[in-house]
Structure formats: C-alpha cells, structure tokens
Amino acid sequence: MIAPTRPPLGANTWIWVSPLTDADVVVIAPRLAAWGFDVIELPVEDPGDWDPARTARLLDDVGLGATVCAVMPPGRELVAAETSVVAATQDYLRRCVDAAAAVGSDVVAGPMYASVGRTWRPEPGERDRMAAQLVAALAPVAEHAAACGVRLGVEPLNRYETSVVNTVAQGLEMIADLPAPAVGLALDTYHLNIEEQDPAAAVRAVGAAGRLAHVQVCANDRGAPGADHVDWVGLRDALADVGYGGPLCIESFTAENASIATAASIWRPLARSQDAIATDGLAFLRSLWP
C-alpha cells in the first residue's frame, strides 16, 4: 500500500558547502524553504562550526524542520581504535546529539563506527569483536541520546568507504544488542544501490526489525534522485509498507570543496548546477506521491 501522503522532504547542506557555518545556514535555509523543502539536513563536521541555538531560531522563522549528520573523518573511531580515540569520538557524538536536540532533530545519522575511507581486510572473528566494541562504545552515547529524545542512525557505507558495515544485514547484526528506541540504521540509496541485491527488501528488513531511523536519497551517481536507474517506486512502496514516517533527505556533494570532493569521490559536476540537484530532486520526489 502506498502512503496517502508523502514524507517530509529535505536537503543536506553538503550539496553546496563544507564545512557548514552560521553564515551558510542564513543563506541556505531560506532558499530551501522558498523552494518547498520541509527539512534541512545539518552536518556537524566540528562542534561549533554552526550555533545550534541560533540555527533553531532561524529554522523556526523560515518554517523548516531539521535533521543532523555526524561526520567521521580520520581520527574518529569507535572500533579497532585506542581508548583515547574512542573516548574523543564518544564526546563528539554526544555533542552531535546536543545539537540535534537544540534544532529539533529526532535523529543523528552517520557511519558512527569508523572513519570514512578506513578499510582493511578483517581477520577471522574480528567482525564479532568489532560488534562488541561498537556496542560498548555506543551504549553510553545512546543513553545520552535517549535522554535527549534523539535516536542514533548508524549508516552502512559501501565497500570502498569502509570495511566495517556495508550491508543492512551487517548493520542489524552490529546494533542487535543496543536498544532499538535509541539506535537504528540510517539508509542511503547510494550505498543501497551498490551493496544490496534488493534495496527494497533491505528497507523492509530494517523496518521489520523496528530499526529504520533515517533515509537519505540521491541518484545512483550521487546526483538528483530520478535522474538514474534506481527503482524509486519500489523504494517508495517499501517505505510505505514499513510505515516510515521520517524525512527523505537529498544528500549530495559539491566538487568545489577539495576535502569533501576527495572524501566522496566527486570528480565531476553531477547536474547542471548544485541548485538543480536539490530542485530537480525535490520535483521528482514529489511526483512519487501524486
């Protein structure tokens, strides 16, 4: 059954800038609202890049909801890492939760297990050890998140960006011992397209487990949703079947920022303009719920 109304639709500020600053929010948020978006997705590259209280007031003024992304550059690790590194990463994630609570986001999403781009071939039994390490490291963060009314969305990434969690099945295994109300999975259609044999079935598996915390969308090449070969109708129906009530947030990146372009392997423009990724994607997603 198709949901009678469309989910809220959002856009990640990474489409235009990295890192996000207060000055950027002042420009981007009113534009998203004017285009008809419901939600702005706010990455926290470093706490303090943008002020949560100030942002909350601005979003209230323009009528936008918010979601928050945790960012995992080299040095942020919860598995296969030194105790001091894990502790610093936990502190960072708590601050992401605080920012989310301040702007009214009920989720912090991201690959909160290891830094993006860190890959190695796990030894026999190492995945079980990493799962135990992740549970131990995320448990206190999840407790803090639950107290703030925020859910953690652990995001599986494709095999080229991590060797820890690539698939929905792996993600569900890794978080099985963490409380479902506080910890779920964040799904991204870009990674689903690479790693899942049946992305719609993967969505249903997460929904059946009660673990669907957040959904990010883009074309299979990271461009605007709809300008690609993704089975959007199948994904729409799967999201309706599991009763997902959160937003769909367009996540893409700009090739103009050297650090993020390298991290996300953005070597060429993905649309006629960065604005078009958002506006064309918004128009297409709206068309799925006529």
Burial 224-251 (b: 16+ CB within 10 A, else e): bbbbbebebeebbbbbbbbebebbbbbb
Instruction: Give the mean pLDDT of the chain.
Output: 95
- For 248-265, what is the mean pLDDT? 78
Rg for the chain, CA atoms, rounded: 18
Catalytic residue among 77, 155, 195, 196: 155
pLDDT per position as a tens digit, 197-211: 999 999 999 999 999
Helix, strand, or coil here: 180?
Answer: coil
For residue 120, pLDDT beyond 60: yes
Closest CA to 39 of 59, 14, 64: 64
In our burial notation (b when 16+ CB lie closer than 10 A, e otherwise), range 148-177 reads bebbbbbbbbeeebbbbbbbbeebbebbee
Q: What is the pLDDT of residue 38?
A: 98
Whether residue 160 contacts residue 83, with contact meaning beta carbons closer than 8 Å, is answered with no
Give the pLDDT band (50/70/90) at residue 257: low
Tens digit of pLDDT for each residue in 274-288?
999 999 999 999 999
- How many beta carbons lie within 10 A of that of residue 141, not counting itself? 25
CATH class of 9-287: alpha beta
Catalytic residue among 41, 195, 196, 251: 251
Q: What pLDDT was estimated at residue 258?
A: 63
Q: Is the pLDDT of residue 256 over 90?
A: no
- How many C-beta atoms surround the C-beta of residue 106 within 10 A? 19
- Among candidate residues 104, 99, 106, the one with its CA nearest the CA of residue 43: 99
The partner residues of 217 in beta bridges, in order of sequence, read 250
Q: Report the pLDDT value the prediction gives residue 201, as an integer from 0 to 100.
A: 98
Is 256 considered catalytic here? no
pLDDT of residue 275: 96
Residue 14 tokens, joined: 């990474």
Q: Does 41 participate in catalysis according to the annotation? A: no
Q: What is the pTM of this model?
A: 0.96
According to the model, what pLDDT value does residue 261 have? 67
- State the sign of the Cα–Cα–Cα–Cα dihedral 150, 156, 157, 163: positive
pLDDT for res 254: 76
